[in-house]
Amino acid sequence: MSGFLPSDEHRAIEEAVQRICAKYDDAYWAETDETGRFPEAFVADMAEGGWLGTAMPEEFGGAGLGLVEAAIVMRTVTQSGAGFSGASAIHLNIFGAKPIEKFGTDAQKHAWLPGVISGSDKMCFAVTEPDAGLETSAITTRATRTQDGWSITGRKIWTTSAQRADKIMMLARTTPREEVARPTDGLSLFFCDFDRSAIDAKPIPKMGRKAVECNMLFIEDLKVPADALIGEEGKGFKYILSGLNPERVLFAVEAVGLGRAALMKAAQYAKDRVVFGRPIGMNQGVQHPLARAWCELEAAELLAMKAAALFDAGLDCGAEANAAKYLGAEFGFKACEAAVLAHGGMGYAKEYHVERLFRESMIARIAPVSREMILNFVAERVLGLPKSY
Amino acid sequence: MKLLVPVKRVIDYNVKVRVKPDQTGVDLANVKMSMNPFCEIAVEEAVRLREKGAASEIVVVSIGPAQAQETIRTALAMGADRGILIQTDQDVEPLGVAKLLKAVVEAEAPGAVVMGKQAIDGDNNATGQMLAALLGWPQATFASAITITGDSAEVTREVDGGLQTLKVALPAVITADLRLNEPRFASLPNIMKAKKKPIDMKTPADFGVDVAPRLTVLKVTEPPKREGGAKVADAAELVGKLKEAGVI
């Protein structure tokens, strides 16, 4: 199974990404976290190396590789110490435009994909809403037909990178909920310019990853042309669904890499820090949490890569992708926690960087889907238990 | 003009090497291997020479185990055109490498050999010089700048106390020093292209070269541990300590 044993190509990918990441050290990421400055230089280097197009077709400037390779890229990024500040800065370019590739017309693909792949277009993704959350079918942002296109009005929340985006992919209701057979019908997916005269983006002050902001969007009569609609009207929910599993896999490996970055720092600290005349890492009380974290991260990565390999083979990977995201996030968090604790007081100090990674580790536990919804999914779809919500 | 660039697979420069307990050598098990940094600089220079129009084709050659194909692929991803692997599991000594390279030069007829000044594993700094001697070619070692004009090359060399610039007639052997350039990162499209570039598989026997070792390694040991120093209050105490140590 590809994804289980790394090929020469996989090693070459990892090494090449490592070399870019090596230019951006802990001080760089600590600074972006302190100031909230977007890691432009890092993203420019990743774009120039062609990494944003890892999983996109060669025809549009991508490399035509799969989710396995994209996962290696993203895991390498977080593992370098860049954490989610690095990964989230490019995450959307890697898989965000997939609905266009899968469901867009030829004209749409040619118009939109090259810019996203080269990094010259910065896209953001607006699905969830303050009053909808994980109940996507409850979104109220409304797209209504005009003479030559659509007018969109509504609110979105947690839209990443909206401050600097020049394109937006958005889910909006085109047929009222009460007029469709299933609540998930009547939603449509749009891709258009981020028109700041019609969209007001307000950053949400948050716990970590200050460099890559999340926003509330207030959309007022956003006029978009008819050809901004991706695929067919009313099928947007289905299009979004097709991208969920790869996104889960990427979150899983990003969390694993993040946990490893913290773990490596903790192991080094435990070797160097001498108390009572010997390194603290000589104590099993310090060793075991770190060793356990290593085991757990390896296991989570294996499941994520299995899901990626299944996805690339065109097989169903829903259970694996969800479970991998669950494990990656939980074990990534536990590894970061163990790393902070191994540092003792210094773990709480910004100077040692693990507190930054620890704060970021909460991201994958919450986004893009909660732990509870994953367990609901596994209970219902894998174990055949009655639906609970 | 064709350029030949020999590359070597060595322990990654970031890895802290460990000596085997039996002192027969350095432990290579589960150690990250990469292209020798000086070889990487040589590949980069060759690619830059081609970009400037001074070279038309870049052939990389490596002598080593099957895994050295990865090292060749790295060079191909940086921009080299094709590779040759002379496969052997033996640790080939500089003279053996030079003899093999001479045979490759005779087969490929390059206009110049651009190679690292030394490999960071053995630190021999010998192969380039030996190759030039075997070929009867001029050599310009420790290059920090290379300009090719017509049938000669102007090479700035880093020597003790300054820089020396000399002109060598081509074909020649040029060895790269650290400050010649900063190698590029392989981009994803180029990694993909490298997969399709050919690597010729050869063995030392194909070139009729005997690579049996001429040297015997008696033992390999770690450098002695550095001991902490001591602070002295004044010159008198220093002299006293030095006398105590028997050095004055």
For the stretch A270-314, pLDDT in tens is 999 999 999 999 999 999 999 999 999 999 999 999 999 999 999
Q: Percentage of residues in chain A with pLDDT exceeding 90?
A: 94
State whether B77 and A16 contact (CB < 8 Å): yes
Residue A144 lies in a domain: yes
pLDDT value of residue A215: 96
ipTM at complex level: 0.81
pLDDT value of residue A3: 56
Shared domain check, A249 and A321: yes
For residue B115, list its beta bridge partners: B175
> B93 near B127, Cβ under 8 Å?
no
Rounded to a whole number, what is the distance in Å from the CA of B188 to chain A's nearest CA? 5
Residue A115 lies in a domain: no
Q: In what order do the strands lie in the sheet with B172-176?
A: B162-169, B152-159, B139-149, B172-176, B112-116, B2-6, B57-64, B82-87, B199-202
For the packed helices A83-95 and A26-35, what is the interaxial angle rounded to 10 degrees? 80
Look up tokens 């800065």; give the residue: A89
Shared domain check, A132 and A42: no
A16 contact residues in B (CB cutoff 8 A): 77, 185-188, 191
Shared domain check, A170 and A133: yes
pLDDT digits (tens, 9 = 90+) for B198-221: 999 999 999 999 999 999 999 999
Q: pTM of the prediction? A: 0.89
In this complex, is the C-beta atom of B30 within 8 Å of any C-beta atom belonging to chain A?
A: no
Decide the pairing of beta strands B82-87 and B112-116: unpaired
Closest partner residue to A63 (CB to CB) among B70, B73, B192 is B192
Instruction: Name the E strands within B28-111.
Output: 33-35, 57-64, 82-87
Q: Return the H-helix or E-strand segment holding A314.
A: none
Calpha distance B107→A317 (Å, rounded):
52
Residue A375 lies in a domain: yes
Shared domain check, A131 and A229: yes
Backbone angles phi, psi at B171, to 5 degrees: -75, 150
pLDDT digits (tens, 9 = 90+) for B154-199: 999 999 989 999 999 999 999 999 999 999 989 999 999 999 999 9
A19 contact residues in B (CB cutoff 8 A): 185-186
CATH number, position A342 = 1.20.140.10
Domain count, chain A: 3
CATH number, position A186 = 2.40.110.10
Closest partner residue to A11 (CB to CB) among B70, B190, B194 is B70
B74 contact residues in A (CB cutoff 8 A): 12, 15
Residue of B nearest to A47 (CA): B187
Shared domain check, A127 and A85: no
Shared domain check, A57 and A93: yes
> Which of A170, A203, A233 is the endpoint of a domain?
A233
Q: What is the CATH number of domain B2-244?
A: 3.40.50.620
DSSP string, B204-221: GGGGT-----S-------
Rounded to a whole number, what is the distance in Å from the CA of A73 to chain B's nearest CA? 10
Calpha distance A113→A182 (Å, rounded):
31
Residue A56 lies in a domain: yes
pLDDT value of residue A1: 47
Shared domain check, A344 and A253: yes
Which residues span the domain enclosing A41? 8-103
> B175 near B139, Cβ under 8 Å?
yes
Closest by Cα among A68, A69, A86 to A77: A86
State whether A12 and B185 contact (CB < 8 Å): no
Shared domain check, A336 and A358: yes
Shared domain check, A177 and A131: yes
Shared domain check, A371 and A297: yes
Distances (CA, A) of A145 to A108, A155, A223, A228, A315: 19, 18, 10, 12, 37
Residue A354 lies in a domain: yes
Backbone angles phi, psi at B17, to 5 degrees: -75, 150
For residue A317, the 8-state DSSP code is -
pLDDT > 50? residue B24 = yes
Residue A61 lies in a domain: yes
Closest partner residue to B185 (CB to CB) among A11, A49, A63 is A49
In this complex, is the C-beta atom of B46 within 8 Å of any C-beta atom belonging to chain A?
A: no
Closest by Cα among A157, A163, A154 to A36: A163
Output B226 or A224, whichever has higher pLDDT: A224
Rounded to 10 degrees, the C-alpha dihedral B21/B24/B26/B31 comes to -70
Residue of B nearest to A57 (CA): B189
Closest partner residue to B74 (CB to CB) among A12, A51, A54 is A12
> Which of A189, A208, A233 is the endpoint of a domain?
A233
Residue A292 lies in a domain: yes
Shared domain check, A279 and A196: no
Residue A283 lies in a domain: yes
> Which of A182, A212, A233 is the endpoint of a domain?
A233
Give me the helices (H) in chain A, please: 8-22, 26-35, 40-48, 67-77, 83-95, 98-103, 106-118, 236-242, 244-272, 284-312, 318-342, 354-366, 371-377
Calpha distance A119→A161 (Å, rounded):
13
State whether B191 and A9 contact (CB < 8 Å): yes
State whether B191 and A54 contact (CB < 8 Å): no
Closest by Cα among A206, A254, A247 to A361: A254
State whether B195 and A9 contact (CB < 8 Å): yes
Mean pLDDT of chain B: 95
State whether A64 and B192 contact (CB < 8 Å): yes
pLDDT digits (tens, 9 = 90+) for B91-128: 999 999 999 999 999 999 999 999 999 999 999 999 99
For residue A5, the 8-state DSSP code is B
pLDDT value of residue A2: 58
Coil/strand/helix, residue A347: helix
Block means of pLDDT (10 residues each) for chain A, length 389 residues?
A: 76 94 97 96 96 94 94 98 97 90 96 94 94 90 96 96 95 95 95 97 96 96 97 95 93 98 98 96 97 98 96 95 98 98 97 98 95 96 95
